[in-house]
A and B are shown apart, each in its own frame.
Chain A
């Protein structure tokens, strides 16, 4: 599994890593029981703080997508809950794809669409935002 970190993007590095692992599970690049590199190994490979890797792993464990076994590493765990979560995410991602396609057909550029999404996400101060 190859990971790619973009430090200049505005997104936290641990979130970038989480998304890539989630995505890899969704598209089958990572399967149930697969082992991920250790924190130290991956930190050195990506040249990022080990705390970044630890945070991503621990959040994914919390989501149920990763199992951390003391001393032996991190393993992908696609249990029923994670599988239904992943179906849920895939369905949502299909809706977003459809909407984006519709907007493109109406001649909006990708950059404009991205800005509209960002603005729409922020224009709900009364709502408690979920991370």
Chain B
């Protein structure tokens, strides 16, 4: 691993003919943390993950995972030995029973922990003798998660892990992720569920239409994003408030609403210059930051 980063990409791109699905992606994911990879459906989250895992070739750029090049076939195999991955559609063999599926998978991994496998089987209440084919969507998800969690990887990559789980299942999943992070595993998971992200994530990356539009620690986001609602006797021009760190300015009648990713102080100072009669500053929920970032530009 180099400079404490487990995942690092440089100008990673993927095109399908003329369509650019992923554009010059630069990711830097630190070790021992929980990173959420957010984006709307179709933002290219799964494409990115598949490229990272060597399951898909990038059209441009390159990257490393745990210090190994993703574009090198031999190093890519080393990567896959050290990480565990849960895919979006939880690729399972329908004709096997739960037990057979687990035996089959565990045979590939020297870091398999039988005690953890047994614990998760009980926790998830998975029916060992049932055919995979007959499992519900939630059960399939749990089986997919079990096969990743029963290992002890350095890095855990999960593509929409909560898909198909009920609220109880999501809570169990989050508890396991937190426990794994405590043991030193780095976690990188894609999601479009803000509620699960804002509890457990240390870092957030937002992908929108193939571009990275936000990469920040969650603490920084919470401390620096502010909405400032202002009332003026006579409304100033919006461009007077379009200063560094200002994401959005809207006016309606005598009111102005400013969204600041930083520099809220400067907005307040300027509001005083324009004799604002009311200045109202409120923190911004992660959900609003997300929606702001994925608005069509």
Residues of A within 8 A of B (CB): 5, 7-14, 39-40, 43-44, 47-52, 55, 115, 118-119, 122-125
Q: Are A12 and B222 in contact (CB under 8 A)?
A: yes
Interface of B is mostly: helix
B95 → chain A closest CB, angstroms: 37
Residues facing A in B170-227 (CB within 8 A) are 171, 174-175, 178-179, 181-183, 195, 198-202, 218-219, 222-223, 225-226
Q: B276 — nearest CB in chain A belongs to which residue?
A: A119
Residues of chain B contacted by A5 (CB below 8 angstroms): 199
Residues of chain A contacted by B269 (CB below 8 angstroms): 123, 125
Residues of B within 8 A of A (CB): 32-34, 171, 174-175, 178-179, 181-183, 195, 198-202, 218-219, 222-223, 225-226, 264-266, 268-269, 272, 279-287
Q: Are B178 and A50 in contact (CB under 8 A)?
A: yes
Residues of chain B contacted by A124 (CB below 8 angstroms): 265
Measured CA separation A122–B285 after assembly (Å): 19
A78 → chain B closest CB, angstroms: 27
Measured CA separation A13–B202 after assembly (Å): 10
Known A51-B181, A123-B268; judge A10-B200 contact (CB<8 A): no
Known A44-B175, A123-B268, A125-B269; judge A50-B219 contact (CB<8 A): no
Contact with A12, one of B178, B200, B223, B281 (Cβ below 8 angstroms): B223
Contact with A47, one of B175, B226, B268, B287 (Cβ below 8 angstroms): B175
Residues of chain A contacted by B226 (CB below 8 angstroms): 10
Residues of chain B contacted by A122 (CB below 8 angstroms): 264-265, 268, 281
B262 → chain A closest CB, angstroms: 12
Measured CA separation A63–B89 after assembly (Å): 48
B169 → chain A closest CB, angstroms: 13
A46 → chain B closest CB, angstroms: 8
List 24 interface pairs A-B (beta carbons < 8 Å), by A numbering: A5-B199, A7-B199, A7-B286, A8-B198, A10-B282, A12-B218, A12-B219, A14-B219, A43-B178, A43-B182, A47-B174, A48-B178, A49-B200, A49-B201, A51-B33, A51-B34, A55-B219, A115-B279, A115-B281, A118-B280, A118-B281, A119-B268, A123-B265, A123-B272
Q: A50 — nearest CB in chain B belongs to which residue?
A: B182
Measured CA separation A44–B200 after assembly (Å): 10
B261 → chain A closest CB, angstroms: 13
Residues of chain B contacted by A118 (CB below 8 angstroms): 280-282
Residues of chain B contacted by A47 (CB below 8 angstroms): 171, 174-175, 178, 199-200
Measured CA separation A47–B196 after assembly (Å): 10
Q: Are B279 and A48 in contact (CB under 8 A)?
A: no
Lowest 9 A-B CB distances belong to which pairs? A10-B283, A40-B182, A118-B281, A7-B198, A119-B279, A50-B182, A125-B265, A12-B219, A115-B280
Known A10-B284, A43-B182; judge A49-B175 contact (CB<8 A): no
Residues of chain A contacted by B281 (CB below 8 angstroms): 115, 118-119, 122
Residues of chain B contacted by A52 (CB below 8 angstroms): 202
Q: A117 — nearest CB in chain B belongs to which residue?
A: B281
Measured CA separation A125–B267 after assembly (Å): 10
Q: Are A49 and B265 in contact (CB under 8 A)?
A: no
Q: Are B182 and A48 in contact (CB under 8 A)?
A: no
B200 → chain A closest CB, angstroms: 5
Residues of chain A contacted by B182 (CB below 8 angstroms): 39-40, 43-44, 50
